[in-house]
Amino acid sequence: MQGLTLREGEVMRWLSSGKTDAETAALLAISPRTVQKHLEHIYVKLGVETRTAAVMRARPCCTGNRHPRPAAHGAIALLNR
């Protein structure tokens, strides 16, 4: 599985904080459609189909397991900046 690009990591950061596509677009100075395309790529890379699943996959499990899944390792590093 490929890691996320820097821009995909930025989109994930705002996604995980609850921002809409339009809000994320404004924050990153890109169009909402570009945000949607980044999300499509993120979903494929993380092997998920929804925003919620992407956020859950990119964060360590809430059960105390501090070791991220290998597929999400790059996303977690970007979210923790």
Task: Specify the pLDDT at position 36.
Answer: 98
Cα 35 to Cα 12: distance, rounded to the nearest angstrom: 10
State the average pLDDT over residues 3-27. Answer: 96
Which residues constitute the domain of residue 16?
6-79
Q: Is residue 65 part of a domain?
A: yes
Tell me which residue of 30, 3, 73, 66 sits closest to 22, measured CA to CA.
30
Q: State the total domains in the chain.
A: 1
pLDDT tens sequence across 23-76? 999 999 999 999 999 999 999 999 999 999 999 998 765 544 444 444 445 555
Q: Is residue 1 part of a domain?
A: no
Cα 30 to Cα 68: distance, rounded to the nearest angstrom: 30
